[in-house]
Structure 1
């Protein structure tokens, strides 16, 4: 064809300075949106080239189509925004294939009369250039007219279109990058929202709490509505608030982490119920657009202090500092070759305030691999007035490699660049966060549990992400799962009650866990332990739900098998041993001498086995319906239990040593523990039993219940069972009962100890206040499992 696809021609080799400067001003205007920049740049091109229409086409190579994403000029039917073009009917296909501008001023005369593009659109005049985004082809910018042009496009006009294409590519790359960074920030915000540490944002002028995460509300015990608007000092005990004020000012200035006040006393948080929690806090000043704030990270260190006391109060204080991103300014005088840096730029370079840089010095700090890029950018800014925005590495005076963002804009007078001005920002931490976000994304992809993300904004809450483990567990590939609601895993045997748990989690936007019967892609059923957690966006609205799936089929099968075997064995044992006991008693009554003695042993052994069976039944009932520990007045519970024991055992003296009231963390099974310990003492020969509640002293936060008797002392084997729950096998009722005591107490987050001197004293230590690590319903501690693996079958 006769079209001109080269940059040769008459006239100047570049657009005139006025047009070029206007184009740079449009594309660098911060107040314009990307769409506005495109529209104004296209208007400028139509005006400069004298054509009807200017538009931008985006290429879809897979579909072999071009989409019009921006268009100016007329007529209205000529390339409206949103129109999809068959690639074979566009001149732009030549531009994309050649990776260079294509021009024709009279298509028919140039031999294009039979070209599908000419036949479809009737365009006589065309000038287009390819657009590349991050080195990849994006599309074209085109200027067209239905009327032929009298003269050829000059080299300067072609250079204008080529420059516009390059600037559009940079703008599109920047927009794409910001979108990716926003998405990455939202993912990170989801993780921060689920963080266990409390995070507060405090107005430095009013000390009011303006923002906080869920962990902060959980730690303080305040509702969101109450916490927002409180001053930070209301979260600390009234005495010594001046010290808290001094501490916060110091932390804002230093960014340090501390668990002590300036006078060395413990830093504490006052909760909504009036309690006090020892905390560790770090803080840093944050300058936002609407003012200065203090960001504080607060950790509950109750558990750590407990460990420190157990390790002879040896503690190690961890500190860290968070450095906020800083921005400096620079200016280069092109006429005098003088360079000026602000103090912040010097600091980023690791230099003192007295350092006076030259242009040559400044370039020498850039990493050798990045230096050519900044040199080229400065040359273009100086010669062509083209602004630049680069992210590069520097090597500081301390040989520290850091990432910086360098922006430069030319100031021109009479068509010449007289100075360059710009900013210099240390973005090392941002680069590290980006690397970390990529790592976390990879961790999700490769996690050993199934992870799915559903879009909460869509009516059907479709899945938008599943990891490899999800596809392995369910047998569904990503194509089948994405876009579908996760209910496709359900089947006719899936219980509605389990589904209701997930439904309520979504409806109330809260984290919940349940076990439900799901089905794999091949129809195979499996038990799925599913946890659903909401994720909020920057406005606080729930945007997604994260699902964690674990295949617990093997565990459920073992639980059912053990349950069946347990019921069968206990039923047969109780019935058959009842018969044996009855026969033994009959023989003992009818016989004399050694035979009667043997028969009595048989009857007593049978009764003991029946007792073991009953104890096992009691334990199974208790353990099947485990309750979450809670704080209540245990004195009342002890009084009621002792009253019932006195009535059941009039032969023994049962005393109480009780305070008026004592709060402790336990469950309703505390009554079962007391009954077992007291009856065991009486059965062992104790005639006087004392039940005492001992309040905690100043150093300890444990409430103890002591059961003391005057009997012969607990045998060593049974003492071991009580302390460790590790007897194997548990071969008689008393040992089994003591094993159950250990299990129930440790399930409350407590401990059991025994002293067998001058009788027996069993001590049950309970927590005075609820801790985060207190076992919840269904939890089993290591102590309850015991040291002997053979005992775990129980």
Structure 2
């Protein structure tokens, strides 16, 4: 900083202090503080006029002014186009004019109206909006331009004025709000004293500060005796926890509605009160709680039995049915909505029919006989049975049938519970498969390794013993990795989503084509619909294409991937011109007779099968001049949600 700048800064210190002191005193009226700041500015800048303007709807209003100028007095106004401040509010920073007559920033109309030769101003911003300007001026032009220190001083005054305006608006709003709250309180208490319900108010500590007269009718207490006590003192022990939790919700700024709390009446009886309450705010902080309580003891008792029946049955997440035990066919007389969710049959469709409709070609007769015996003997029975949904997809159903007796001890109905346990059965069978395959292949490969290990010290001349040992080791490692991957997929949450075959099929196969440049991988998409399945479908397709590429002895193999519509499904067909999958492998995947599975290659196919059936689809392999693998999966249209299109898992071995 130059010596001249330093001198100017030091000489301005008293003016700045006066400005700071004026606005620091919150008890001082804003107009006095502004006038003090304007006077200090005139002295600091050696100018004759200082003024504060407000800008509204294209006009300038003089709010405060010091100095003697006929056009610059509180209350005068003019169009903004005729004001020196016009450019001040348009620019960032301060506008300083040494000679207004020659300055292009000052309009001729403004100069003609005010005749100010020198001018410096800064816009005033309050609550992020331009309020107006703080300006200093003189009828004479200046010999020297305004310094940076001059402009910073004007900016300081403008900022302090803006804060003062914000504070003034805040105080006015607070005063108005206080008056409104007082009026509301008077109205509230007037209504409360004549209300049939209990009106109350508590502080943030939970102490009652007001209770209406109705509390004497509801709980037997005089209202005045309750004031000062905590509301929890009159609750039953079991209701206290719910009440305190709701109180925390209110203190967090949220309302509560319809919470039912049990209070202790003065005579020792219990009264159920339905409470609605809202927080009271002051400056954004909860300062009290007010609410209303209605005695619903009689209503709650009337509804209790109905609520038990309806909530336990209609709202249960497991399917529930009631069958008529007096009819030899045991027709269904009631089914809840969850029954349709699991089986596909609506309550209307199943009413009057027997649950035998859920049985199908692979349902075990022994499981059916077990249920029939329980019904015939009128005793409770539970079994897991393979059933079929309305769309024909199989699922494992844990069925429990319980006889219901009337007052005379006669069985009149059978209460049935169904639970879709397909996921657990799938996992159970898959883990069993993995254990069996790993034990079987480990034994076979170790036998091979042991055989070659005998030649380590004296290898035959035409045998690479190390390589012969490495091959079964590599196969075991590959099998172990596939087993780990399949198990990890089985343990993941099922997350159906929308998959575009036109996007994920090319993206999945492109790296495989690059890794096998001599082969030809073609993708054809003949559907406009997406597929409703999990992201692991991409891994399943990758497994099929990889099998086709790596198990063909000739590198020029061709693999064709086609996605096409098939009714409510989208089919993905992977076709190759290789030697074809061994019949045993195809039979294992199709029939589920996993005891014949011997090779790691087949384990990869189980991963594909697991993925397809997990999302309600199916997987088939045929041998037609090569291998044709077909994945059938639920289709999803543009106007469908994932939830609407998603299907439940089907049995794994199908």
With the shorter chain as reference, the TM-score category is 0.3 to 0.5
TM-score normalised over the length of structure 1: 0.28
TM-score normalised over the length of structure 2: 0.34
Bigger radius of gyration, 1 or 2? 2
